[in-house]
């Protein structure tokens, strides 16, 4: 198999656009992996501070990968451009095919979030 048969470009993927809700350590890393896979990803959190930390974390990790030769600057820049840091959950999920929840482990927070996502995401998400 060719590389494209085993890892098709994002436009051929089931979910070319994804939202990750929760910009903590786990959410940031999930969003980073998604962006590196070629997909557009909205990383959403109600905290601007969490979004800023997530952006800094990804920049730092990817700078380290570039320095080690594990990633090119162009790959880093392209992946970073695929991430939309968003402080509005409804906007983040409005036009995606998959939503990944990565919020704090509190049942009431998760329930409230899922109700909000259900009301804002398109049918079939």
Note the pLDDT of residue 3. Answer: 45
Does the pLDDT of residue 13 top 50, yes or no?
Answer: yes
Q: Which residues pair with 74 in a beta bridge?
A: none
Taking only the tens place, the pLDDT of each residue in 89-120 is 999 999 999 999 999 999 999 999 999 999 99
Within 10 A of 51 (CB to CB), how many other CB atoms are there?
19
Smallest CA-to-CA distance from 34 within 43, 45, 23 is with 43
Does the pLDDT of residue 4 top 50, yes or no?
Answer: no
Note the pLDDT of residue 101. Answer: 96
8 A C-beta contact, residue 83 and residue 33? no
Task: Find how far residue 123's CA is from the centre of its chain.
Answer: 20
């Amino acid at each position: 198999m060719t590389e494209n048969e085993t890892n098709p470009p994002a436009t051929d993927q089931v979910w070319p656009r994804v939202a990750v809700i929760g910009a903590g350590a786990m959410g940031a890393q999930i969003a980073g992996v998604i962006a590196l896979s070629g997909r557009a990803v909205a990383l959403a959190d109600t905290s601007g501070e969490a979004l800023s930390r997530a952006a800094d974390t990804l920049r730092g990790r990817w700078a380290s990968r570039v320095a080690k030769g594990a990633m090119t600057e162009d790959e880093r820049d392209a992946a970073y451009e695929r991430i939309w840091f968003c402080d509005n959950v409804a906007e983040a999920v409005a036009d995606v095919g998959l939503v990944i929840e990565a919020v704090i482990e509190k049942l009431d927070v998760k329930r409230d979030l899922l109700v909000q996502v259900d009301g804002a995401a398109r049918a079939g998400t």
